[in-house]
Amino acid sequence: MLMRLAVLLALCAAAPAAWAGGAYRALLGHGPFPSADEGDRQQAGDLRYMRFVRNRDEPFGSRPDGSGRAGNLVGLSLAESFGGRAGLLADGMALSDQSLGQTFRMSRMDYLLGAAFIDEAWRFQVDREEALPLDQGGPGWRAWDARLSLALGSKGEKPQRGPAKTKTGESRPWRGALTLGWFFHNNTMPTRADGTGLAFLRYAGEFEYRLLSGRLRLSGAADALTDERRRRFAPSGLGLKLGVGVALDRFELFLTRESQDVLDGPGWNAAWLMGTRVSFP
C-alpha cells in the first residue's frame, strides 16, 4: 500500500514538469490582402517582432516538440492580390529559446504558403504549413489545409476583402472573420500543444475594434483544432489571444495575452507578449 502511494505521489509530482514545454502555435495565413479597388495587382505585408515578457509558470516551448522556452519572435507576412479576386500569400515566423540566453539565435521556424480565391466577403484558401527545429534535432510537422472564411464588418458597410487596412483612420470601426478549415493531408501536425493527436478540422474566429480614429485597437482570436484519431468534430486543442494596441500610420505597438488549452485532457500554456508591427506598402 505504501509503495503504491509513493508511486502515485511521484507521478503527480512529475506531471507539471512533463507539461512544462507545450509547443507554441502561431496563427499563420490570415492575410493581409489589399482591397480590390486599389488596382489590378497589389502587394501588402507586415513585419513584426514580439517578446515573451511573462513565460515562466506554464511556458510555451520554443521548438515544435515543446522543448525550450519561447523568447523572441520575428515574423513576416507577404501577400499579392490579382484584381481582388485571387491572391498568393507567404507567412512565416522564427522563434528563439529564452532558456539558452541567446536572444536572437533562432531555434524554430514556421512558414505557410497559400493561394486564395475571394468573392465579396468570402475567401477560400489552400495552404501548406510546416514547422521546423533549427538548432537541435527533433521532430517537426507539416500539413496541407483548405479553409473557408467569412469576413464581417460594421453594419451598413461592405466587408473588404482580407484584413482591414493598417493605415490610421482608413479602416472600419470593427471587423472580424469566421473560418472553417480542413486538414486534407496531414501525417504529423498535432492537435494539442503537448504534441498529441492529429489535426483534422479547424474552427477559428477573430475580431478587431478600433477607437480614436484607429489609434487604439482591441483584438482577439480563437483557433480550435479537432483530433482525427479521437473526436473528429469536437475541438481538442484551443488557442486564444486577446490584445490591445496603439497605432500611428503604419506602425503599431501592442500587448497580447496568448494561451493554449487541451480541452479533452490536462494541459495549459499561457504567456504575455509585447511587440511591434510595421505594415507595408
CB-based contacts of 150, cutoff 8 Å, min separation 6: 121, 122, 123, 177, 178, 179
Residue carrying the nine cell digits 482608413: 170
Mean pLDDT, all residues of the chain: 84
Secondary structure element (H or E) that encloses residue 208, with its range: strand 199-211
Question: Are 134 and 107 spatial neighbours (Cβ–Cβ below 8 Å)?
Answer: yes
| pLDDT one-digit tens code per residue, 135-190 | 887 889 999 999 999 999 865 344 444 444 444 444 568 999 999 999 999 999 99
pLDDT band at 14 (very low <50, low <70, confident <90, very high): very low
User: Phi/psi of residue 167, each to 5°?
Assistant: -70, 130
- Looking at 50-54, 92-96, 199-203, which range is the least confident one? 50-54
What is the maximum alpha-carbon separation in the chain? 76
pLDDT band at 37 (very low <50, low <70, confident <90, very high): low
CATH topology of domain 41-280: Porin (2.40.160)
Q: Which parts of 33-148 fold into alpha helices (H)? A: none
- Would you list the domain boundaries of the chain? 41-280
- Please determine, for residue 112, whether its predicted confidence score (pLDDT) is greater than 60: yes
| pLDDT one-digit tens code per residue, 74-106 | 999 999 988 888 999 999 999 999 888 767 889
pLDDT score for 154: 65
Of all residues in the chain, what percent carry a pLDDT higher than 90?
Answer: 58
CA 199 – CA 237 distance, rounded (Å): 9
CA 31 – CA 163 distance, rounded (Å): 6
pLDDT band at 59 (very low <50, low <70, confident <90, very high): confident
CA 163 – CA 175 distance, rounded (Å): 8
pLDDT score for 41: 58
Q: Which parts of the chain fold into alpha helices (H)? A: 2-19
Question: Are 255 and 276 spatial neighbours (Cβ–Cβ below 8 Å)?
Answer: no
Q: What average pLDDT does range 56-60 have in this prediction? A: 76
Q: Are strands 235-248 and 60-61 parallel, antiparallel or unpaired?
A: unpaired
CA 25 – CA 8 distance, rounded (Å): 32
CB-based contacts of 245, cutoff 8 Å, min separation 6: 216, 217, 219, 252, 253, 254, 255, 277
Question: Are 179 and 204 spatial neighbours (Cβ–Cβ below 8 Å)?
Answer: yes
